[in-house]
Amino acid sequence: MEFAIEVREKDGLRTLHFESACVQGAMRVAQPWDLELEYTRVMMAGLLMRDDSSFPRNILQIGLGAGSLSRFLYRNCPRAQLTVVEIEPRVVEVAREHFALPDDAARLEIVIADGYEYMLRSGNVFDLIIVDGFNEHAHPGDLNTLPFYQACRSRLSEQGLLAVNLIGLCAGVKGGFAHIETAFDNRAVLFPKCKSGNTIAFAASGAPVTIPVSELQRNSLLLEKRAGLALMPTLARLNELPACQDGMLRI
């Protein structure tokens, strides 16, 4: 059964909605390349975690929404190949018509498919996998399952990182972060919760992530200067995490 897709605009902010008041994505019309929502900015923290100028070369995004992450990555990772898997063709049409989704098949491939099925069947390998897929009820469905996260791990490169928007699905809740920890043998971390309630998890396979929080902050300032991505408010809270108690982020 089809669900309603609505585009709203107020004071220069364009938003995407599915069947409810919940915002599925947002774009500042005058600044379409910027990441308007805090949680989308936090999801980009993975760009700071590898000491490799070519990271990431291959990116997979599950769930298109308003295309905010796709636009940012397309603009700021010009050497990367980006694949976006979106189950609903109408969302792609809306993102192209109303949210400035780049039309460049050479660098940005749009795949109409179920993200769960794609992950289980795909043989491709990615440096960065971003999971931000939800249905009209703001639920991730099969994207919040152990087999899905295990498949994500199997599709990551030696430098690979996974970033997941869990919303309210975090520690102490069946599924969510517990599944990620299991799939990645506890090589996972929950970043501090966003004001919106979104909680972003990162997990790693292959080469370990071992980086001082101070270096993450320096890298963040460079990225902010280049791409306008303000991550310092989140990174300033990392020392609160068990994974960063000695001033090092380890995944």
Tens digit of each residue's pLDDT, the chain (251 residues): 578 899 999 999 999 998 766 788 999 999 999 999 999 999 999 999 998 878 999 999 999 999 999 999 999 999 999 999 999 999 999 999 999 999 999 999 999 999 999 999 989 999 999 999 875 555 677 898 999 999 999 999 999 999 999 875 544 544 589 999 999 999 999 999 888 888 999 999 999 999 999 999 999 999 999 999 999 999 999 988 888 878 999 99
Note the helical H segments in 106-212. 115-121, 146-154, 177-183
The CA–CA distances, whole Å, from 173 to 121, 148, 170, 219 equal: 28, 17, 6, 33
Give the DSSP H or E segment for 215. helix 213-227
> What does the domain layout of the chain look like in residue ranges?
5-208
209/159 Cα distance (integer angstroms): 9
CATH 3.40.50.10360 fits 5-208, yes or no: no
Which of 87, 83, 69, 186 shows the shortest CA–CA distance to 125? Answer: 83
